[in-house]
Amino acid sequence: MIWGVLWFLCFRFLFKVFCLLILLKFFYCFIQRFLGF
């Protein structure tokens, strides 16, 4: 039971980090294109 909860929390944390990395990459590309004009 405890291992399942820890695995779920770890998975959710990794998912949040993955989403943040994608958002940062998207904003970086958007700003780079916006400043490129």
Mean confidence (pLDDT) of the chain = 93
Question: Which residue carries 């294109």 as its tokens?
Answer: 33
- Residue 37 banded pLDDT, cuts 50, 70, 90: low
Q: What's the pLDDT score for residue 2?
A: 87
- % of the chain beyond a pLDDT of 90: 81
What does the domain layout of the chain look like in residue ranges?
A: 1-37
Exposure string over 12-29, b if 16+ CB within 10 A, otherwise e: eeeeeeeeeeeeeeeeee
Q: What is the pLDDT of residue 1?
A: 76
